[in-house]
Amino acid sequence: MNPLSDRINNLAVSQTLAMAALARELKAQGKDIISLSLGEPDFNTPEFIKEAAKKAIDENYSTYTPVEGYLDLKEAICRKFKRDNNLDYKPSQIVVSTGAKQSLYNIAQVMLNEGDEVILPAPYWVSYYEIIKLSGGVPVEVPTSIENDFKITPEQLEAVITPKTKMIWYSSPCNPSGSVYSREELEALSKVILKHENIYVVSDEIYEHINFSGTFCSIGSIPGMLDRTITVNGVAKAFAMTGWRIGYIGAPEFIAKACTKIQGQVTSGANSIAQRATIAAVDADPKVLNYMVEAFHKRRDLVVGLIKEIPGLKINVPEGAFYVFPDVSSFFGKTLRGQFIKDATDFSMYLLAEANVATVTGDAFGNPNCIRFSYATSEELLIEALRRIKEALA
């Protein structure tokens, strides 16, 4: 008998983390792997943030923190929400957590009852699906395609709403597609949402600053939507702080309180030093991030250009985050170097075996036709990775 719970037996492993681990393992065995699997900036955390952390250590920020986060950090997050997103939150509406992943987990745990439906425009970030399932929710996938830039329409949204619909979860800029919803597009979706009482939106804005489109809209800033929205953000991506583990939400107060309640029983307040450093991060003018954003923009152009040169790969131009999500379905049913490619997972494993390049299958993100490349790595490695891929597919 398997002594583990049904809960864990029914949980899929995170395929982003699994692919990153496999790439690491192969590297350790001496293979020359280029990993484009993990979404992780290759920059160092900016100096001014590191200085704030060092100061916090010297000032003995070493005790338990308030479960919902330091008050001055929550105040700084409120200023950030106002400055960047035109969102009016009070500190009592903010909860700081151990990464945006925990923020999302808290939300699912406090919002979902068994059988509640959560609409997921696909492709969606890999962990949404499992976090929702783990909380008893039922993910309802809404497929999109490269032709409509991987975005859902108001008609598609309306069509999947049922009396059981509780939430809609999405990210913009999107992981994995890089798509960015415009204000007009979000207004049209909000019209549908506002017709239905008690549907809440999770707006995952963790890639907010890694955005080349010149526009960004938080759905909570649309009239009527603030009370229906949980805005999720964090410092991992824009500030190159993936290991510091700080995420946060702005939410209706009763939801923030509930998230604090669960966090108080599970992890307590987030790391003290990282919270002090996060004050410096969120208080800074986002212009300080320009050098990273410009580098990602340049790499985006490079990668899109190189992929367009590879016959059989179809790609749109993602407007944000640091991923490209080409459609590889033209290879399905074909045999490459003696290996039959049945689906995106086979394709991704073929690239790992034959090109020594690690990617993540689109299946993990609810799109079986695509694979994801993270371009958060040097131009030199990106050029080499795509040269190898082109050769392996020739």
- Chain residues that interact with ligand PMP, rule: CB under 6 A: 39, 99-101, 125, 171, 175, 204, 206, 234, 236, 242, 247
Residue 22 in contact with residue 38, Cβ under 8 Å?
no
234, interface contact from ligand GLU, ligand PMP, none, CB < 5-8 Å by kind: ligand PMP
255, interface contact from ligand PMP, ligand GLU, none, CB < 5-8 Å by kind: none
Give Cβ neighbours of residue 246 (< 8 Å, ≥ 6 apart).
96, 97, 98, 99, 234, 235, 236, 270, 271, 274, 275, 277, 278
Enumerate the β-bridge partners of residue 294. none
Q: How far apart are the first and last CA of the chain?
A: 48
Residue with smaller CB distance to ligand GLU, 14 or 153 = 14
Q: Give the residue at shortest CB distance from ligand PMP.
A: 99
Residue 204's nearest CA partner among 243, 181, 174 is: 174
156, interface contact from ligand GLU, ligand PMP, none, CB < 5-8 Å by kind: none
Query: CA 247, 144, 322 angle in degrees (round to 5)?
Result: 40
23, interface contact from ligand GLU, ligand PMP, none, CB < 5-8 Å by kind: none
Binding site for ligand GLU (CB under 6 A): 14, 16-17, 38-40, 126-127, 175
Angle between helices 344-355 and 15-28 (to 10 degrees): 20
Residue with smaller CB distance to ligand PMP, 232 or 328 = 232
Residue with smaller CB distance to ligand GLU, 200 or 373 = 373
Q: How far is the CB of 247 from ligand PMP (least distance, A)?
A: 4
Residue with smaller CB distance to ligand PMP, 78 or 206 = 206
């994995």: which residue's tokens? Answer: 176
Q: How far is the CB of 39 from ligand GLU (least distance, A)?
A: 3
377, interface contact from ligand GLU, ligand PMP, none, CB < 5-8 Å by kind: none
Structure tokens given for 227: 């009370």
What does R_g of the chain's alpha carbons equal in angstroms? 21
Q: How far is the CB of 99 from ligand PMP (least distance, A)?
A: 3
